Amino acid sequence: MLENKIQMINLETKNTANAGSLTFFESKNDIPFEIKRIYYIYAVPAETVRGGHAHKKLEQLIICLHGKIKVILDDGNERKDIVLKKPNCGLYLSPGLWRDIVYLEEDSLLFVAASEYYDESDYIRDYDEFLAYAKGR
């Protein structure tokens, strides 16, 4: 079930009256993995689709820090759309999920915490290859 491969995590947040909010999370304590890499995607024109790949090993926590982003997930059997728009809401993605990511609003900012260093050989960028990989798991 795709539901078992993802998790919406409400990140702990300190709200201060008239002085904004602070959200935080710690490796292993608040998310299921140790963070090795952080990256973020920004300055994407509205309605642009990025992603279009799956990972074999990588675990990620993705957060829409600003704007609105739709994540279209596919585990080879099921599909699910999730709209992210809250900076205190993290979406955990386990390995083996194809994702298309639609940047719905101008200036949307996607922040990603990842469990591994960048490794192009961890990517599956061909959808048919992904389907074969998902069936064989």
Q: Point out which residues bind ligand TYD (CB under 6 A).
A: 37, 39, 41, 50-51, 53, 118
Cα atoms in the Cβ-side hemisphere of radius 13 Å centred on 63: 20
In the complex, least distance from residue 15 CB atom to ligand TYD, rounded to whole angstroms: 31
Beta bridge partners of 90: 9, 63
- Choose between 16 and 117: whose C-beta lies nearer to ligand TYD: 117
**Is the Cβ–Cβ distance between 51 and 99 less than 8 Å?**
yes
Residue 66 catalytic? no
Report the alpha-carbon distance of residue 93 to residue 78 in Å, rounded. 15
- Choose between 31 and 98: whose C-beta lies nearer to ligand TYD: 98
In the complex, least distance from residue 41 CB atom to ligand TYD, rounded to whole angstroms: 5
Instruction: Single out the catalytic residue among 53, 56, 70, 86.
Output: 53
Closest CA to 113 of 26, 10, 6: 26
- Choose between 29 and 121: whose C-beta lies nearer to ligand TYD: 121
Catalytic residue ranges? 53
